[in-house]
Amino acid sequence: MATQIANLVRLGQSDVAWWCTDWRNVDTCRLREDVAVITPETQDSASLVLSLPMESEAAGEVQVRHDATLLLVNFNTSRQTLRCLVSLLQGLTVPGRVMVLDNHSRPEDIERLKAGVRDLPPLSFQLDMYRSASNLGFAAGSNLLIGLALSDRACNFVLMLNNDAVALPHLVQRLLDAVVGESSRCGMAGARMHKLARPSEIDTLGISIYQSLMPADRRVSSDRLFGPTAGCCVLTRGLLERLAEASGYWFDPRYFCYCEDTDLVIRAVLLGFQAAYVDELSALHEGQASSNESGNQFIAYHGLRNSIWMHAKLVPSSVLWRYCALLMLAHLLSAARHVMCGRSQLVWRIYRDAVRRLPEFVRERRLFRSHVRVSAAEFRRFISPGFYRSEYISQAWSGELKKIRRMTAGIFK
């Protein structure tokens, strides 16, 4: 295993293109005002560009789960997607079908992806690649693939993996065993992911929600698991059908990206579903390839705006009241951090855009209420003690304080 991980780390040194969508002009999907229903319009904007069948000789060497489909979303990261596909082909258990959506990447990236797919080793699964007519974002792009996967009645499990992750050989089997073996109400499962560049370091153990009501990647097993991240998980058909019935969608396409998996997990918990977790290392994740200014602002904009919508739409009223002081403190600290670093316009855009559409999320809250099967007291049991993930606050503020010191040094030099 150590040798295999070392080889995968070397594979991870290729350059990565950042999700370069202009966050100032993101045009996320609007839902009908009367009810939150997603129509299949996005599916009409995607076309099948490549379909490669399973090769019987290759499939004969591994266990093939024909009841499972794995989804990948590519956006200007063809090298990472191809690396991920190679790692899946090395699995001891593979899904019967892998579906890749190219989210309207640059022409050279999609061509590199198509050429690389044709050059893959013999396939032990069916591989279908689609291309959207525009960048749908991770949420709507994943919805498109989920809809296509569930159109096959043989598909009972939908696996999701970040396209910049590397699957270890037992990933698929571990996730499927976990979601089937936990309980009849288990509708989702996640697994331990470490960092590709530093395989001894944890990348994520799932999602935790803290007393500030802010979600974060779970980094220590003592924090309570709320549910899996969309970057490494399996969702059952039963859960997905119930989510569509209650909400009209799987991932909320208005989010575009960031926090969309937490939103799905909260709805699943409120509907009475449980999450399982595999604590064996199952995948390695490259993660954000760029930490430049625009990248940080893109994450900050979508993460904070979407969390406001999520709280308004889903968190039980008594829980909001119980933790409202800590929630307000979290917003104050986030806003102060950006303002101190000269990003006051970013803060204005976040709260302006969040408030503009807040009424539709409040309306959806009332519609969803009739589907809730979990009490507020039960919901609180999933919340981790503490204001937020401990090391994040010190890391985030230490980085910003360094920037401020550099700025002031230039002024008073």
Domains delineated in the chain: 7-290 (3.90.550.60), 294-411 (no CATH)
Using the structure block, give the residue that is written with the tokens 């993930």: 389
* pLDDT score at 189: 98
* pLDDT score at 8: 40
Q: What is the DSSP letter of 227?
A: B
Mean pLDDT by 10 residues, the chain (413 residues): 44 32 34 35 73 82 94 96 97 97 95 96 95 94 97 97 97 96 88 97 97 96 96 98 97 95 98 97 80 65 96 97 97 93 94 97 96 96 92 60 55 47
* pLDDT score at 404: 52
Q: CB of 201 within 8 A of CB of 284?
A: no
CA distance 82 to 115: 10
* pLDDT score at 63: 94
CA distance 270 to 247: 12
CA distance 18 to 361: 30
**pTM for this model (two decimals):** 0.86
Q: What is the DSSP letter of 54?
A: P
* pLDDT score at 405: 55
Q: Which two tokens stand for residue 192?
A: 């331990």
